[in-house]
Chain A
Amino acid sequence: MRMIEILLTVIAMLLALTLAGVSFIAYRKSHLRAALYLLIAFLLFAIKKVIEALSISRGIEKDIGLLINSLEVLVLLLLILALWRR
């Protein structure tokens, strides 16, 4: 069960990095601020997934609840910003 959890976390992380890559190219081409916000949001999401994967595999023993929740709020705020401002 833990293996499947880690596998899904890694897939989510890879997808987030792919989207971050696409956002980076889009920002370089257009200089749209929204693309920059998306790039940061996807990178933060990937970091969140790394922390979660480490936590599942017992690489991190500390309580990560606060950190994960903070990252989630940041990601959502950046997504709102991307919708709000071009």
Chain B
Amino acid sequence: MERRGEILNYITHRPGVTFRELARALGLGIGDLQYHLRVLEREGKVFSRKLGKRRYIFPAGFEGEYEKLVIAISTETRRRILLLLMEGPKSQSEIASALGISQPTVSYHMWELKKLGTVSDRREGKKVVYSLNYDPELIARIIRNYRPGIWETLADRLIDILTSLGDEND
């Protein structure tokens, strides 16, 4: 029971932790952890979702945020943008030159990320500066463990090609 409380506490403070990380951090055996997580899921205190090749565990009440985050990190370019923004606020041109992608592509992705509430923007003179709305640690944790399959990788590339074709947003 005490062990389960410890697991719940860890998940609450580190949403998006993977099964392996959790087992390693708490020094628990796989069978033991599986049992406690099953109980916690049944009690509605945590939920888990498979994304790419990994399963992520979240505290209850995080469902809405999770859906948005999944869409936010669904393409390689967005993951690179988010990782870059973890270093601090950046303008559109800074993001484009740091990642070697066109400004229209950055503009499209920033518009999408803003719509999802993952980033926010503010005007600084002539520039619009973007910053993360999420805990950088949470984003780093999820992106670091995210392993898209071959189909998703190909789809990501197609999205990147299509978004760099023009400069109009939908």
The residues of A with any CB-CB pair to B shorter than 8 Å are 21-23, 25-26, 29-35, 38, 82-83, 85-86
Contacts and interface: CB of A to CB of B under 8 A. Distances in A.
A26 B170 CA distance: 16
B75 A33 contact: no
Interface of B: 71, 74-75, 108, 112, 151-152, 154-156, 158-159, 162-163, 165-166, 168-170
A48 to B, nearest CB: 21
B162 A86 contact: yes
A37 to B, nearest CB: 10
Contacts, number: 53
Contact of B151 (A21, A30, A34, A38): A21
Contacts of B152: 25, 29
Nearest to B154: A22
A86 B155 contact: no
Q: DSSP majority for the A interface?
A: helix
Contact of B162 (A21, A25, A32): A32
Given A29-B71, A29-B74, A83-B165, A35 B170 contact: no
B75 A30 contact: yes
Contacts of B151: 21-22, 25
Contacts of A31: 170
Given A21-B151, A25-B152, A86-B170, A30 B165 contact: no
- Nearest 10 interchain pairs by C-beta: A25-B155, A26-B155, A26-B158, A29-B74, A34-B162, A22-B154, A30-B159, A26-B159, A22-B155, A32-B162
A26 B71 contact: no
A23 B161 CA distance: 12
A86 B168 contact: yes
Contacts of B163: 30, 32, 86
Given A21-B151, A22-B154, A86-B170, A29 B159 contact: yes
B158 A35 contact: yes
A34 B155 contact: no
B158 A22 contact: yes
A42 to B, nearest CB: 11
Given A22-B158, A86-B165, A86-B168, 12 more contacts: A22-B154, A25-B152, A26-B159, A29-B71, A29-B159, A30-B112, A30-B159, A30-B163, A32-B170, A34-B162, A82-B162, A83-B165
